[in-house]
A and B are shown apart, each in its own frame.
Chain A
């Protein structure tokens, strides 16, 4: 199986930059991925030939903008194998989860329960805590295994007849572990609970077939999926969207407004109050189209071979400890590690001097970091445009940090 990484890399202008005299080795894709020319071109086309507000205008630019915006919605839907009217554009993945926590959450009653896990990103913890303080729902927490997976064997113990929703990371942003969705969905169905997946770390690795997963809500971020910042996606089953009240009020989301009564627009508009991030949505549509043009069988094999190279290389350095499953089958290309005697930020800072961009710290997953009783991790997150040169520069930098800082 061959994958032309140079051809993919060549589509990302930022990657050819020289910073402080060194080539850029961008391995912080889990925080924000880079954008290909196809996305830049689509955004530029909107800004230079289509820019206007959407929905309400009748002039030529407004028509163009609306068409491009709705085409983007259709592209996202195709990427997820769902219908366009089930796609809500949001300000990001966090905004999508907050939308569900507020809107679906308003349908819940005091004493209803929501099940999360210990490895969730703060964006899949805090919105539910806010809901808890508003409405008196209860939160339960699935533990993690020693190799950094959500321990689904604890589902029978933690699910109750009052569990209304299970909201979990599809792929951990710290350990890279992939969720056993099938087991979660089967357990949820047994008690009548809905399932939401935070797909922020999964969506960047190829198209999804959401109906086959059997879930109810899915959220992901544009900027991690080779698209612009300020855009995210919520998918939900149409009957759920139909039942949910608005999150934000304003223009576009209404049926009719009087001071006596206001009616809501049908979904997805009901959840897109005000002027949406139009150019960003168009850019995300282009990113989804670009991703559908990738041979993901080959791209994923490439990403995972780099992941193996990272794991093998780190394990050869004295004092490293890797989080996450040892098996490539159970993970995506996100690798976190600690280096004994060297703080994660110092590792990341040294790597920067080698032109290597990584993330260090708690990764907005403090409960998981506390679970392992560590200060944080240094995280490598890989995209299809990464190559052996990136990984070798990383390993050289880690060896240098180990040699000079302890």
Chain B
């Protein structure tokens, strides 16, 4: 049932645009495309001396789910290193039903996507871009 997909929490995350934009002097950047739907995410990060994210920004040329996910990810990314981001990704995977268990906030908002397999990549694309940026 698609009409349950665009619930207020997802729309609110997307409209919040947390972290939207570019960094003036990123330590690393990465861009990921989804060749199936054309979504594109570019992520800039500034890292501290220990490889932790000090600052993050994203540009999303994609759907509302991708925008909401990038916004949610940006809201929890600062202070985390690659391992910390991998932990957060499990929450997104749980939310969309790819892993068992309860998803922590803010990713629990993506629970309606579990019923839409073709849209799950939209939620995960920002994670892929950030993974590349941190690798």
* A contact residues vs B (CB 8 Å cutoff): 20, 342-346, 349-350, 352-353, 360-362, 366, 369, 375-376, 404-405
Contact = CB atoms under 8 A, between A and B. Distances in A.
A345 B2 contact: no
A375 B2 contact: no
Nearest to B122: A345
Contacts of A343: 62-64, 67
Contact of A353 (B1, B11, B37, B122): B1
A369 B6 contact: no
B37 A350 contact: no
B126 to A, nearest CB: 14
Given A350-B6, A366-B38, A345 B1 contact: no
A353 B3 contact: yes
B38 A353 contact: no
Given A350-B2, A352-B2, A353-B1, A361 B37 contact: yes
B1 A375 contact: no
Nearest to A352: B2
Given A346-B63, A353-B1, 4 more contacts: A344-B63, A345-B39, A345-B62, A405-B6
Contacts of B78: none
A350 B1 CA distance: 10
Contact of A349 (B5, B11, B67): B5
A405 B64 contact: yes
Interface residues of B, number: 19
B119 interface: yes
Contacts of A362: 38
Interface of B: 1-3, 5-6, 11, 36-39, 61-65, 67, 116, 119, 122
B119 to A, nearest CB: 7
Contact of B63 (A345, A353, A366, A404): A345
Contact of B37 (A342, A345, A405): A345
Contacts of A20: 1
Contacts of A366: 38
B64 A346 contact: yes
Contacts of A369: 38
Contacts of B2: 349-350, 352-353
Contacts of B116: 349
A340 to B, nearest CB: 14
Interface centre among A20, A342, A345, A361 (most CB of B within 10 A): A345
Contacts of B39: 345
Nearest to B61: A375
A260 to B, nearest CB: 46
Contacts of A376: 37-38
A375 B64 contact: no
Nearest to A344: B63
A369 B40 CA distance: 14
A278 B116 CA distance: 35
A376 B62 CA distance: 9
A349 B54 CA distance: 36
Contacts of B67: 343
Given A346-B6, A349-B2, A405 B11 contact: yes
A237 B116 CA distance: 47
